[in-house]
Structure 1
Amino acid sequence: MPHNNHYNHQLKPLAKALRKESTKAEVRLWCEVLSKGKTGYTFLRQRPVGKYIADFMCKELKLIIEVDGYSHNFKAKEDEERDMVLNELGYSVLRFHDEEVLKNLPNVQRVIEAFIEDQQK
């Protein structure tokens, strides 16, 4: 039985390029919180979902984590639309700012862990 997870193969080359160009905040979140099943779940980096590429995605939790850089200060409407589309596909979206990840990673980690705990209830 094929399970789709809304994977968009056409975005695969772009996703691969984005993995190589990860921001400091994305790398830090990945290395210190999300990689190697540290949360108890498998997260994938720069994963095509629908017409978007999620910074981090966990299929099991149907969770997408976005780390927004400075440019997102001017993209509130696009981000809102994107979150709505991803919600319609069945995903929850947690969004953090670069600064939060770099300067307050323990809090970002707490938010992610709280989300995971809620899902396990």
Structure 2
Amino acid sequence: MKNGIDDLILDYCANLSNIGEGLEPDVLAYWYKRIEDRSKEMCSTELGEKIIFKQDRILWMKFEINISKRTVPLVLDSIRQCIPLMPYSTSLYFEKVYQVILDEFNRELV
């Protein structure tokens, strides 16, 4: 005999088993590329050249973010737009990236 609670528990267990799925280097690289492309679409070509995300060749989960101060709002907006589309663990990762960029930007202004 099945009821709604059994379905809810099975759904919850499936979500928990897939929680680490979005933290693979290729998944992160895909989302970094989408954010980089979306940010470049929102600005001029000249300004777009100052948005660079680079994956480390040895440590695949390490990314270097090179952006100018003028592009920070665009990159943050792109991250904010992409987060709802990401898997759960990837969205948590990019929430932290968003916060680090924002903190660094605010520190530069002071």
**Length-normalised TM-score, structure 2:** 0.31
Which of the pair is proportionally richer in strand?
1
Q: Which structure has the greater CA radius of gyration?
A: 2
Which of the pair is proportionally richer in helix?
2
**Length-normalised TM-score, structure 1:** 0.30
